[in-house]
Amino acid sequence: MTNDDPYLWLEDIEGEAALAWVAERNAETDAALASAAGFASLKQRLLEVLDAPDRIPYVARHGEFLYNFWRDAGHARGVWRRTTLEQYRTDTPRWEVLLDVDELAATEGTKWMWAGARVRRPDCGRALVCLSRDGGDAVVVREFDLGTRTFVQDGFQVAEAKTRIGWIDADTVFVGTDFGPGTLTDSGYPRTVRTWRRGTPLEEARPVFEGETRDVAAGGWHDSTPGFERDFVVRSTDFHHSEMYLLTRDASLVRIDVPDDATAYAHREHLIVTLKSDWLGHRAGSMLAFGFDSFLAGDRSAEVLFTPDARTALAGHAWTRHHLILETMHDVSTRIEVLTPTPGSRWTREPLTDVPTLSTVTVVDTDPDVSDEFFLDVSGFLQPSTLYHGKVGGETEILKRAPSRFDAAGLTVEQYFAISQDGTKVPYFVVGPDHAPTGPGPALLYGYGGFEVSLTPSYGAVTGRAWLERGGTYVIANIRGGGEYGPGWHRAALGAERVRAFEDFAAVAADLVAREITTPAMLGAAGGSNGGLLMGAMVTRYPELFGAIVAQVPLLDMLRFHELLAGASWTAEYGDPDDPDDRVHLGALSPYHLLSAGQVYPPLLLTTSTRDDRVHPGHARKAAARLRELGHRVLLHENTGGGHAGAGDNEQSAHNNALMHTFLWRHLSSPALG
């Protein structure tokens, strides 16, 4: 259907005809939802949550300062600022504003959005600030002086591209960007790695590595750890495979000989390797520590830092100066412990702190070159975040507590397991009222199921106000394709096996009905990006299970995704439409191509962004057009900015969420609740 697709013209992102058509759809959606009774008040209540001045301002340490990026009612685009730990401990810290993005956008007449900064170490005197035009992944880069709080005239500057850049020293950076024809991969990311000296034209940056156009990207980075300064290059051959090289002083490359599906990096004298497949007698999902120099010399003896089991997987880790903090998941609830290397290559371990059941603990920041300081965040579905600060082996203090944002009286959290079509047990969380005395009610089921992304318990103030407070039940499905049980859980839904994720989600939906938590007519589903593909599958494969569906920035045309923006980078996840064998299963799971006139579909809301330069807005546009042609109920809302997040500021985010929940409540609530 790709050659005779009548809606290819909607892939012209900023084409006059396409934008006029989008404007008509937006007007229809606004008339149907934004004009509804209660919409304005709901949006305002959600905006209050997003702009709340007593939110926890999460920080990252660079030298003596703690840095934070902040948005609120007075700073829609946000400010980059910093303070000291002593000030941060207070209820009202004094912040030094470094960059006001609203002011910059107004001065330059460009809808700039913050896209991060790379602070130079160890002096922390300069930063490479990245700015996105209205939310896209492509950025401009400008050097910033943290002392004078100004951009550096004639400093490092790179025009808009999907640039990768990082400090080597005060006058040199690694850079990969658009240097002209042939310098980007098919996915639109840098294909070359170059070193760029201050005061020289970017075009004269010296190449140190060149990948292939079919790769995803190439990048370089400098390890500035005192006494262990080293340079590395990585070639990402696809989304899940890469090659890492040590860049020596004579500019030669030494391959770090680990499996290409493993994650590896150097830390001081160690080489840390996390496995995605079995290797050297170690199970997939294990985390290993080698001596870096001895590994290069051929020694493959390793200390095992983590070994998974059927119910436990690695969730993350972070270094302090002398320790490794390890986060693990057991049935999707996190645990945290401290590992310490000792002489003789042995490591000790002990718990760092207790974590409540059905909660998530996350290492927010550490300062691994200097101290054993850590910042930890702990939250749950009904438990607002608590931010802890401490030092390994020392005292831990509560720095900040987020207040409750919604009325949780009468709400409970439970974890259940559904049985998928092939017999696999699929965990899911249910947050909501006790339905035993009242019977089934409206429920919203959320899922993702791809790219080894795990959905863990967290406090959702927007969901709380928009859904739970009104009597709805919120459900998170931990389906295959994610990382909740390690690499095997992800691999189980790769390529032609993607249908396992769809079956898992449908099994959770059916289990909710069997438990009398909801009914098909009162069950909604939502997901974004890869989760938008999941929603498309629910529409086309399991329409009888749902009363309404929302697909956000969705991936829906599985026969052309590789030709649209960053889509070529995802062939390792889904398959390659140009491969005849893969094209068979991609056509069979492509929601856009499975839409038909003879099927009854639940009402569908599609949301996307004109400035999404990751998942092309054409996916949502074309699906909406096709559904309209076939006579089905569909609404489309396309934000003009916001990138892949779908919203560029808190107001847009509140608007999008109000649209979504107004749509769902309208279709799912019973007469008594509506």
CATH value at residue 119: 2.130.10.120
Is residue 1 in a domain? no
pLDDT of the residue at 671? 44
- Start-to-end CA distance of the chain, whole Å, equals 41
| Cα–Cα separations (whole angstroms), residue 376 to 60, 199, 317, 351, 362 | 12, 41, 12, 14, 6
364, pLDDT greater than 80: yes
Co-location of 217 and 319 in the same domain: no
Co-location of 291 and 326 in the same domain: no
- Residue 410 backbone phi and psi in degrees, to 5: 85, 0
Q: Give the tokens for residue 54.
A: 């007593």
Summarised one tens digit per residue, pLDDT across range 215-268 is 999 999 999 999 999 999 999 999 999 999 999 999 999 999 999 999 999 999
Co-location of 198 and 333 in the same domain: no
Which residues have a catalytic role annotated? 529, 644
Rg (CA), the chain: 25
CB atoms within 10 A of CB 350: 11
DSSP assignment string, 343-383: TTTEEEEEE-----TTEEEEEEEE-TTT--EEEEEEEETTE
pLDDT of the residue at 674? 37
CA distance 119 to 62: 7
Residue 163 contacts residue 176 (beta carbons within 8 Å): yes
Domain boundary among 308, 330, 352: 308
1, pLDDT greater than 50: no
Is residue 166 in a domain? yes
Q: Give the tokens for residue 181.
A: 């024809």
Domain boundary among 269, 285, 308: 308
Is residue 594 in a domain? yes
431, pLDDT greater than 80: yes
DSSP assignment string, 256-318: --S-TTSEEEEETTEEEEE-SS-BTTBPTT-EEEEEHHHHHTT----EEEE--BTTEEEEEEE
| 379-400: burial string, b at 16+ Cβ within 10 Å, e else | bbbbbbbbbbbbebeeeeeebb
434, pLDDT greater than 90: no
pLDDT of the residue at 353? 85
Co-location of 427 and 340 in the same domain: no
Co-location of 598 and 635 in the same domain: yes
CA distance 469 to 480: 30
Is residue 486 in a domain? yes
Percent of the chain residues past pLDDT 70, beyond the cut: 99
Is residue 599 in a domain? yes
CA distance 27 to 387: 42
Give the model's confidence band at 345: pLDDT under 50 very low, under 70 low, under 90 confident, else very high.
low
Co-location of 415 and 392 in the same domain: no
pLDDT of the residue at 356? 83
Is residue 2 in a domain? no
Co-location of 237 and 334 in the same domain: no
CA distance 262 to 237: 13
User: E strands along 33-182, which residues?
Assistant: 60-62, 65-72, 75-83, 96-100, 112-119, 126-133, 139-145, 150-151, 157-161, 164-169, 172-176
Percent of the chain residues past pLDDT 90, beyond the cut: 94
| 505-534: burial string, b at 16+ Cβ within 10 Å, e else | bbbbbbbbbeeebbbbebbbbbbbbbbbbb
- Residue 310 backbone phi and psi in degrees, to 5: -65, -20
pLDDT of the residue at 627? 98
Amino acid occupying residue 184: L
Q: Give the tokens for residue 369.
A: 């070159």
pLDDT of the residue at 670? 56
Co-location of 164 and 201 in the same domain: yes
Residue 376 contacts residue 387 (beta carbons within 8 Å): yes
Domain boundary among 280, 308, 336: 308
CA distance 620 to 605: 10
Residue 320 contacts residue 373 (beta carbons within 8 Å): yes
| 544-582: burial string, b at 16+ Cβ within 10 Å, e else | ebbbbbbbbbbbbbbbbbbebbbbbbbbbbbbbbeeeeb
Domain range for residue 610? 8-47+405-668
Is residue 3 in a domain? no
CA distance 506 to 313: 24
Is residue 262 in a domain? yes
* β partners of residue 436: none
Co-location of 38 and 141 in the same domain: no
Give the model's confidence band at 313: pLDDT under 50 very low, under 70 low, under 90 confident, else very high.
very high
Co-location of 468 and 526 in the same domain: yes
Co-location of 284 and 409 in the same domain: no
Co-location of 253 and 349 in the same domain: no
Number of folded domains in the chain? 3
Summarised one tens digit per residue, pLDDT across range 372-421 is 999 999 999 999 999 999 999 999 999 999 999 999 999 999 999 999 99
Domain of 543: which CATH number? 3.40.50.1820
For tokens 């030092």, the residue is: 391
DSSP-derived letter for residue 159 is E
Helix (H), strand (E) at residue 664: helix 650-668
